[in-house]
Structure 1
Amino acid sequence: MLVQLGAAVAVLAVTAGVGPTGRFDVPVNGFAAATTVLREGSPESVGLDPAPIEAAKATIAGSPLFPGAVTLLAHDGVIVDRTATGKAVRYADATTELPAEQQVPMRVDTIFDVASVTKLFTSIAVLGLVEDGKVDIEKPVSTYLPEFGVNGKATITVKHLLTHTSGLEPFIPLWRDYPDKAARIKAVMDHAPSAPPGSVYTYSDLNLITLGVLVERQRGESLDSVVTKRITTPLGLTDTGYNPPASKRDRIAATEYQTTPARGMVRGEVHDENAWSLGGVAGHAGVFSTAEDLAVLGQTILNGGTYRGKRILREATVREMLTNHNAAYPGNAHGLGFELDQRWYMGGLAGPRTAGHTGFTGTSLVLDPASRSIAVLLTNRVHPVRTNGSINSAREALASGLARALAVRPRQGPTAWYTATGGATLLTGPLRSTGPVSVSFAAFVDTDAGDSLVVEFEDGGEWRALPLRVSGPGAPEQEVSGLSGSGHRSWWTVHAIGPVGAPVTVRWRYVTDSRYSGRGVTLDRITVTDSRRILLDGEKQPHLIRPLGWGPKTR
């Protein structure tokens, strides 16, 4: 069975629970077996190459963007790596480092304020209401919260809130402009949208604050109680919840030293000022968690909503949760709560079904159903100040490290040519031809949209690009001058017609911009012919190819 999501097609359907372990080039359809439970193992135990994982970890350990970090990588139900690096608490205030003996090192079980990753818990709580028949996501929010349906919001649906297409602006300073919780909630209910509902994608905390109120109203209990009863307790997430107890403070990573409001060094209380002003429990922020707890949540989603025999969502609900409902807003793919296919932090794991979320404090969770993989990065990047800068490079490095650890098997023979870096050139020749040159090869391309593999020939000292005709799942339908793309996870067959004359030199050049990368490019079955004979058989004559930045790989 073929399943199409967006522009990419999963070309091989594999029965749940029997997917090809360790493979990137054989995407899996469906959920993992419901019995899959995370267990400890090594990268090698599930067919992964440990080198890219170690390289990604080295990048994170050496990053100046945060005092410390905890990472966890899992594949096919196995935790293949978990690491703690740096400090959970390093500063006394905005500028003063604590004495070395007073600094607190990161541990693999350090508890983090996960910030907007909280939105996933709220979304799951909402979908639980849908399953219980208490909420219809296509109905106006005012059906359930009548006071919300004012100032142009009467047509905003629950789905608009889940997909950030309500037209509500990203943020209003509730903590500063309103005196108490009741006034702050009323301000959200009263607030007018800045764009017509359904007309734009605007990521907004107000959407999830509203959904948190909706959950409380429909369940008749507080949001934290709902999340505890229906998510964290069934899944055994003992370190996940709002307003962590003082007994766990020593394991909690510090966030920001705040002067406005005057909170001092924030540790063990939610960093987000609006969530703090709402008592630490809100739909958009407030959850604290560990890397392992988030991995269990991720595996629950990969399992289709169940873990250790406890089901928190039906398979059909999870499938809808991971389906793009924002096709009208290119670049902003979004399920019901989960973000989808975001290269900037999902790196080489990005694809139409790849789901995740980030948090302002320096957190991210990435789930790749196509390879049944999980990447968790938790940092305290706002410690001691929020101006430390973006950590997207670290997020992307970790996810790409896991993607590159997964195998892409050569199309023919024992090895293929591979590169993950820009500026790489694979050069032939010169080859003596007696007619038009035909170039053919197989390519496995997983790149950012700004990166491209071009095939060029030398013409009087200048290099000219050959037009490429490409076939295969997810391949461009028209003739192109360069190859780029992600999510298809399939080998392409590529043909090009070169110049007439002798000698001819052909090169494959991978060009990257300064933005995000992906898993990289793999080439195989390189053949150059003219009208009479084979000029180059890459399988039999690899010595005629000069690699600069490329290397032979068996996987």
Structure 2
Amino acid sequence: MRTLLTALLAVALAAAPLATAHADPADDQATNDQAVDDRTFDDAAVDAQGLRGRFDVPRHGWANDVLRSGTPERVGLDPAPIRAALDQVERYTTPDATGHPLFSGAVTLLAHDGVVVTHETAGWAVRYADAAGTELPEAGRVPMTPDTIFDLASISKLFTSIVVMRLHERGAFELDAPVARYLPEFGVNGKDVITVRQLLTHTSGLEPWLPLWSRYPDIPSRVKAVMDVAPKNKPGTVYTYSDLNLITLGVLAERLSGEKLDVLVREGITDPLGLVDTGYNPPAAKLDRIAATEFQTGRGLVRGVVHDENAWSLGGVAGHAGVFSTARELATLGQTILDGGRYGSARILRPDTVRLMLTDFNPGFPGNAHGLGFELDQRWYMGALTSPKTAGHTGFTGTSLVLDPLSNSIAVLLTNRVHPTRNWGSINPARRVVANGLAQALAVQPRRGPTSWTPTTTGGTLTTPDLRTSGGRHTVSFSAFVDLDPSDKVVLESSNDGTSWSDLKTLTGYGDRRWQRVELETTPAKLYRWRYVKGSGYGGRGAFVDAIRIADDRGLLVDGEQDGLRAEGWRSANR
């Protein structure tokens, strides 16, 4: 097996006169991504290159892992951030100032390099007696367990997308062909130009949903309503996340294959991967392991039956919702994607198909990066694991899956946040907490010496000692690692009196998860400092500064490894 783990430098540093930024010499491994996309890396290669547990050396190519249980330390992770994230998830299951918890219960699973480093539970699978939130006596509740089965809600869209792309591999359709070529009844009311790709990327122009369950009397009329609906916007002009896109794709898959969607998911995904608790309409025998969802008018407590009313009205099997699964089995699907469509000896997709599914086809709609089924680069729930290559999906019932190909990591958070009601608020903070915990557990290793510097507070500064000035120029150089929310920044500033400061260089955004060497020639100053400015966004892995050197034409003035730096709101970090 050939192994090639590489990264390209894409530095997100704002331009400044006479300043340059280039790869730190220790990280000069650039090569062509496309050339390595179909290659795989294994444990021996990862260990040999010292990449296990690293956030600052992104990987390219496919993993080659089958999930097994272990500890954070086994794969080079710091257990403390993971423990802190799990503790916060536990706190979210206790009532807060609102008088109720953020969610009833949760199962959290984190994996890195094929090792499940945590798989823990919190709270209750069944907790409430009614929609008002009357708690059952503890003896009447059902606790969460690692194998609790959850209604995945819109994560089901990934299963539909995989089924559709398996059909594409067989040549059943062309991505950019009109859907109406294969599903003629869809091509009415202005939908004749909508393509399969537009359905997969939510650029079809269709509205988000229709009240199928309440407005139409039976399954045939509900399906017909989706086929008949007119676009809300001109196809290809806007991004609108729509259940109707995936309902249509489910119907398309059935038409092209001659099989029902649940059969396609079972035969093409769950059976090959050995997923025994994943699928539609779980049997009554598993009810005691299924997390409860909402109390709904006319349905009572929804448990073991799909929560989404439209999917329920379609018999529990629909392209947009209906799949149930456990954290471990959802992680298995995630590892299959990180492995390029293969899990052990089972292959459900070709590598080139997975690459398509993880390619952003929505560059014209900033903030809505989307592959063929997978959402990409969504910081609002992917947290500090976010990158242009990070993939995943969420579900309305309180579920989320985050796949980070650049570190071969998986974050799964399954909750029943709609139990007992959907009106208790968003769990996006919890989704970010879990992703952030895994990201913080991955190392950003110092570039020189045992430690680097990283900010801890908004407005924190890292300042040099007073320097002598001369008639020549100062050369300021340092190594920087930047993985920030777009609204955050680190600014290099200079001053001659310690009161008035001038901006010399701004570092912000996503820095391709690589250390860069920054060099700046500037008018001499008595002081230089790095100032961190926190914006209003969701944050990132952070910023690190190391290997600081300041020189003039007579020699070295400051060596950050030896000369004292004044840190206010910054700390030294060894990873």
- Return the TM-score normalized by structure 1: 0.92
Q: How does 1:419-498 map to 2 (within 5 A)?
A: 419=455, 422-435=458-471, 436-458=473-495, 460=497, 462-468=499-505, 482-486=506-510, 488-497=512-521
Name 2:352's counterpart in structure 1: 316
- Distance in structure 1 (CA, Å) of the matches to 2:496 and 2:427: 44
User: CA deviation digits over 1:1-56, x for unaligned, max 9?
Assistant: 878799999946776223321111111111112xx211111111111111111122
Q: Which amino acid aligns with 1:55?
A: A
- The equivalent residue for 2:95 is none
1:361 aligns with 2:385: no
Equivalent position to 1:518, from 540, 548, 551: 540
* Separation (CA, whole Å) in 2 of partners of 1:84 and 1:466: 48
Aligned amino acid, residue 290 of structure 2: I
- Do the aligned partners of residues 3 and 374 (structure 1) sit closer, same or farther apart at CA in structure 2, a change above 3 Å counting? same
Pick the aligned partner of 1:30 from 58, 61, 77.
61
Which of 277, 298, 301 is the equivalent residue of 2:313?
A: 277
Q: Is the 8 A contact 1:28 1:371 kept in 2?
A: yes
Q: Given the alignment of the two structures, is residue 127 of structure 1 paired with residue 156 of structure 2, yes or no?
A: no
Give the drift of 1:420: 5.8
Residue pairs, 1:142-221, within 5 angstroms: 142-221=180-259
Is 1:141 equivalent to 2:186 in the alignment? no
Contact 2:9 2:514 in 1 (8 A): no
Q: Distance in 2 between matches of 1:344 and 1:243?
A: 30
Inter-partner Cα distance in structure 2 for 1:118 and 1:239: 14
1:443 and 1:491 in contact (8 A); partners too: yes
Q: Which of the residues 106, 114, 127 maps onto 1:69?
A: 106
- The question of whether the paired residues in 1 share the 8 Å contact of 2:9 and 2:30 is answered with no
Structure 2 Cα separation of the partners of residues 400 and 421 of structure 1: 17
* CA distance 1:5–1:280, shift in 2 (3 Å): farther
In the alignment, what sits opposite 1:249? Answer: 287
Report if aligned partners of 1:466, 1:498 keep a CA contact under 8 Å in 2: no
What whole-Å deviation, never above 9, does each CA across 1:113-141 have from its counterpart, x for those lacking one?
Answer: 11100000000000111111212211111
Alpha-carbon displacement from aligned partner over 1:247-298 (angstroms, at most 9, x marks no partner): 1111111111112xx2122111111111111111100011111110010001
Contact 1:5/1:352 (CA < 8 Å) preserved in 2? no
Secondary structure of 1:489 counterpart: strand
1:548 aligns with 2:573: no
Amino acid in the other structure paired with 1:539: E
1:42 aligns with 2:64: no
Superposed CA deviations along residues 345-404 of structure 1, whole A, max 9, x for unmatched, are 111111111110011111110111111111101111111111221111111121121112
Give, in whole Å, the separation in 2 of the partners of 1:500 and 1:214. Answer: 67
Q: Verify the 8 A CA contact 2:489 2:507 in the aligned structure 1.
A: yes
Asked if 1:98 is matched to 2:120, the reply is: no
Amino acid at match of 2:544: T
Counterpart of 2:149, as a letter, is I
Distance 1:313 1:231 in 2: 9
Structure 1 residues 195-224: Cα deviation after superposition (integer angstroms, max 9, x where no partner): 111111111100000001111112212111
Mapped partners of 1:207, 1:279: distance in 2: 18
Shift of 1:191: 0.4
User: Which deviates more from structure 2 when the two are superposed, residues 46-55 or residues 411-420?
Assistant: 411-420
Separation in 2 of the partners of 1:208 and 1:267?
A: 24
Residue type at the aligned position of 2:543: V
Q: CA contact under 8 A between 2:393 and 2:400: conserved in structure 1? A: yes
What SS class does the counterpart of residue 23 from structure 1 fall into? coil
Give 3-state SS (helix, strand or coil) of 1:80's partner: strand
1:315 and 1:499 map into 2 onto residues whose CA distance is 52
CA distance in 1, matches of 2:141, 2:347: 41
Are 2:342 and 1:298 equivalent residues in the alignment?
A: no
Matches within 5 A, 1:327-346: 327-346=363-382
Tell me, yes or no, if the aligned pair for 1:114 and 1:361 is still in contact at 8 Å. Answer: yes
Are the aligned partners of 1:305 and 1:315 in contact in 2 as well (CA < 8 Å)? Answer: yes
- Provide the C-alpha distance between the structure 1 equivalents of 2:434 and 2:111, rounded to a whole number of angstroms: 12
Q: Which residue of 2 aligns with 1:228?
A: 266
Conserved? CA contact 2:448–2:546, under 8 Å:
yes
Give the superposed CA RMSD. 2.1
Contact 1:454/1:465 (<8 A) preserved: no
Give 1:67 shift: 1.6
Question: Deviation at 1:500?
Answer: 4.2
Name the CA distance, whole Å, in 1 between partners of 2:275 and 2:11. Answer: 36
SS at match of 1:30: coil
Q: Which residue of 2 aligns with 1:414?
A: 450
Q: Aligned equivalents of 1:487 and 1:388: distance in 2? A: 37
Task: Specify the alignment match of 2:85 in structure 1.
Answer: 56
Instruction: Tell me whether 1:79 sits opposite 2:99 in the alignment.
Output: no
Paired residue total: 534
**Displacement after TM superposition at 1:551 (Å):** 2.2
Helix, strand or coil at the partner of 2:305 = coil
- Please say which of residues 224-233 and 459-468 is displaced more in the overlay: 459-468
Q: 1:158-208 CA deviation, whole Å, 9 max, x = no partner?
A: 111001110111111111111111111100000000111111111110000
Q: Is the 8 A contact 2:10 2:511 kept in 1?
A: no
Secondary structure of residue in 1 paired with 2:504: coil
What is the percent sequence identity of the aligned residues?
A: 61
User: Which string of whole-angstrom CA distances, capped at 9 and with x for unpartnered residues, describes residues 465-516 of structure 1?
Assistant: 4222xxxxxxxxxxxxx21122611112223455545xx2322122212320
1:418 shift after superposition: 2.4
Say whether the 8 Å CA contact 2:482–2:542 is kept in structure 1.
yes
Query: Which residue type is aligned with residue 323 of structure 2?
Result: V
Cα deviation, 1:413-472, whole Å, max 9, x if unaligned, reads 22211246534322232333335544321110101101111122346564434222xxxx
Cα distance in 1 between the residues matched to 2:420 and 2:58? 41
Q: TM-score, normalised by structure 2?
A: 0.89
Aligned mates of 2:138, 2:80 — CA distance in 1: 32
* Aligned-partner Cα distance in 2 for 1:219–1:487: 44
Decide whether the 8 Å contact of 2:456 with 2:571 is kept in 1: no
Q: Per the alignment, in what secondary structure is the counterpart of residue 483 of structure 1?
A: strand
Distance, in Å, in 2 between the alignment partners of 1:79 and 1:487 is 28
Residue identity opposite 1:287 in structure 2 = V
Against the structure 1 CA distance between its residues 421 and 319, is the aligned structure 2 distance closer, same or farther, given a 3 Å change threshold?
Answer: farther
Structure 1: tracts of 5 or more residues without a match: 469-481
SS of the residue 1:522 aligns to: strand
> In the alignment, what sits opposite 2:415?
379
Give the secondary structure class of the aligned counterpart of 1:345.
helix
Check conservation: 1:457, 1:498, Cα contact below 8 A: no
What CA deviation, in whole Å up to 9, does each residue of 1:230-260 have, x standing for no partner?
Answer: 100110111111111111111111111112x
Shift in CA distance, 222/444, structure 1 to aligned 2, threshold 3 Å: same
- What is the alpha-carbon distance in structure 1 between the residues aligned to residue 244 and residue 333 of structure 2? 24
Q: Is contact 2:8-2:512 (8 Å) kept?
A: no
